[in-house]
Structure 1
């Protein structure tokens, strides 16, 4: 069992279903904060200053590590979670004490989010997505973000035909609803039944970048989408998960170290593991590929290049990955370095073979982009 099969129930005349798992990290929320010129963003550095202004407990070991990261100019949330894992591994803080420290941080972070992501921002973002067809454009035209060479290597477009189902499953690592708001298929930009006699509701653009016109322009099809929050949601403060990936060595179900693992509390194996078995395309956006989310990166790496039978039970496919990487300031990477970083989660003997299944899209604040773009193509803000 994998994703829900919409070819057997739900639509009148569907053909093959394409399951697309999109994993979205804090880079999306930071992009929104920048594009909407918000005074506070969701970087951990902003949260650190929030804690300092509130005279938060100076003895909290996580706050102390955040101070060290500030001095080292490390600015990803994955850096914070990495030091939590390091403290656990080196037995510098007892697991239960570390858990209590994380709980205190969680309580403060919930209040911080209310300042960084007010309801007024959600209203503005949603209205702009609706008026500019941003959600539909993301789902329809993301293939246009690849350069000519990567598009030519990508097998996904070659397997598409009329009447196919495009099932987008968003894994939102953020605690906010900004992504949910942006990709919501509202009544203005999406009609579930736009035609009088057929139930197709989507046109997928096979070649929005005009790279391979001989393959056709767009296909009459179906679309579905869903968003999950494995690490908790801003509206339920006690659900927010901070912590580490599952420890390598766990001494039974009651091991206190297990209680610091995000995959344990999110029940990843139970709720999400089966979805990798029939996902055809993975998209990663706004993620730093940190160790604390190793569970996800490893399962994607394990799925890449493994031949699967598609929903018709006959045709085959090998899953691929489109990996968006934001380059900014002095922290500039090239495509090979980004690919290598992801492939660290694959078995060493498989890394060379899997490179052909990884397609990297480099971008910065001024890059014209279709996927999850909260600014206009001309660079002006929505």
Structure 2
């Protein structure tokens, strides 16, 4: 049965920003280590409790990724809640809470300063020239012959369908936005609303359900939607770090400091993931994960992907330097061997590194 509309969801993480900045041969990128170095050099208040915890962790451990920072924040919130519960005097409790919140905000603004230091307007213009339109046109190009043989998505494509691209930019910068943005005419023809070319088989691989080759080009209607579920650099206080607490509604009680700290940590709450993002993900026919570590701080997303895969969707996951991302995704199945077995053949891993470059997608 032909689909009249297809939905493709791209979940893009910090690995994208790092890769594209490195491709431009820039001096700085957006790694956690570089932020730590920036913070160490420019932060005036070295007594900031969050900075002190970051500094101590960096001294004791060699881990170097943003997930470690979010897990650290979670642990600090837990410790602060325990400390506040031991304080009986209300004014002292309030003061301790306010100091911690100000420390959090100070790091938040320093992070915004860091990103503005790394990503200048000139860099955004350079990224726009790279154009991700080709990535979307040949989205299946970097699959192997064996993978392409089994994937069902090509058989769902044909002329005149509508293909909606939903790009979830987990980063706070707009590098992803600039890469994928292009100004296309929504009505380029007098007798047609098609505005996009999609190549279902860029490498002429055989497929069990379709007979397309690299010359096949479908004229389709497309739309693009870009979301920033973790906040935007242009609004520093919108920048979210933390976990998902799975609390449907927080108790609205004045001066409940413990409750307010848990709420502040909850990315899913502030991003309204259940209300805004879940309905989009539930319609996705194909997921693309690029530049993600698939860490537990974004567990909500991986569970949504798993749920949709169990309903028949498919996933392309780009695994830089073979970090076992497929296994990480499957680890969120909640111990269900049945679901794991059902979805694992619908996950297609695209391995690449600095010596094994991508040829069709994300070719910056």
Q: TM-score range by the shorter chain?
A: 0.7 to 0.9
Structure 1 counterpart SS, 2:27: coil
Shift of 1:363: 1.3
Counterpart of 1:315 in structure 2 is none
Confirm or deny that 1:372 pairs with 2:359.
no
CA contact (8 A) 1:24 1:284 kept: yes
**Gaps spanning 5+ residues in structure 1: where?**
1-13, 307-317, 375-382
2:90 matched residue in structure 1 = none
Q: Which residue of 2 aligns with 1:379?
A: none
Q: How many positions carry a matched residue from both structures? A: 335
Which deviates more, 66-75 or 361-370? 66-75
Cα distance change, pair 252–343 in 1 and its aligned pair in 2 (3 A): farther
TM (norm. structure 2) is: 0.85
Equivalent residue number for residue 282 of structure 2? 277
Aligned partner (choices 141, 153, 157) of residue 154 of structure 2: 157
**Corresponding residue to 2:332 among 340, 345, 361:** 345
Q: Work out the CA distance in 1 between the residues paired with 2:266 and 2:123.
A: 31
* 1:243 alignment counterpart: 242
Which of 341, 349, 357 is the aligned partner of 1:360? 349
Q: Report the Cα offset of residue 208 of structure 1.
A: 0.6
Would the aligned equivalents of 2:200 and 2:217 in 1 still touch at CA under 8 Å? yes
- What's the Cα RMSD here? 2.3
Report whether the alignment pairs 1:64 with 2:57: no
Alignment CA distance shift 1:101-1:169 (3 Å) = same
Name which one, 1 or 2, has greater alpha-carbon Rg: 2
Match of 1:116 in 2: 118
* 8 Å contact from structure 1 (residues 169, 225) kept in 2: yes
Q: Give the Å deviation of 1:263.
A: 1.0
Q: Bigger CA drift: 44-53 or 59-68?
A: 59-68
Deviation at 1:290, TM superposition (A): 1.4
Instruction: Tell me by how many angstroms 1:196 deviates.
Output: 4.6
CA contact (8 A) 1:87 1:93 kept: no
Classify the secondary structure of the residue corresponding to 2:332: coil
Q: Is the 8 A contact 1:17 1:165 kept in 2?
A: yes
1:75 paired with 2:74, answer no
SS where residue 370 of structure 1 aligns?
A: coil
CA contact (8 A) 2:320 2:352 kept: yes
User: How much has 1:249 moved relative to structure 2?
Assistant: 10
Cα distance, 1:353–1:64 mapped onto 2, change above 3 Å: farther
Give 3-state SS (helix, strand or coil) of 1:143's partner.
coil
Task: Point out the more displaced range, 86-95 or 30-39.
Answer: 86-95
1:65–1:80 Cα contact (<8 Å) kept? no
TM, length-normalised to structure 1: 0.81
Q: Distance in 2 between matches of 1:250 and 1:196?
A: 50
Rounded Cα–Cα distance in structure 2 between residues aligned with 1:212 and 1:67: 53
CA positional deviation for 1:297: 1.2
Aligned mates of 1:285, 1:84 — CA distance in 2 = 25
Once the two structures are superposed, residues 293-325 of structure 1 have per-residue CA deviations (whole angstroms, 9 ceiling, x without a partner) of: 11111111122121xxxxxxxxxxx11111111
Taking the TM superposition and a 5 Å limit, the aligned residue runs for 1:72-151 are 72-89=61-78, 96=97, 98-126=100-128, 128-129=129-130, 134-151=131-148
Q: Are the counterparts in 2 of residues 137 and 370 from structure 1 also a CA contact under 8 Å?
A: yes
d(CA) in 1 for partners of 2:345, 2:37: 42
Q: Are 1:221 and 2:220 matched, yes or no?
A: yes
Distance between the aligned counterparts of 2:51 and 2:156, measured in 1? 50
- Matches of residues 6-25 of structure 1 in structure 2 within 5 Å? 16-25=4-13
Match of 2:172 among 149, 172, 175: 175
Q: Distance in 2 between matches of 1:197 and 1:353?
A: 43
Question: Within 2, Cα distance between the matches of 1:79 and 1:250?
Answer: 27
Other structure's SS at 1:209 match: coil
Q: Give, in whole Å, the separation in 2 of the partners of 1:39 and 1:273.
A: 38
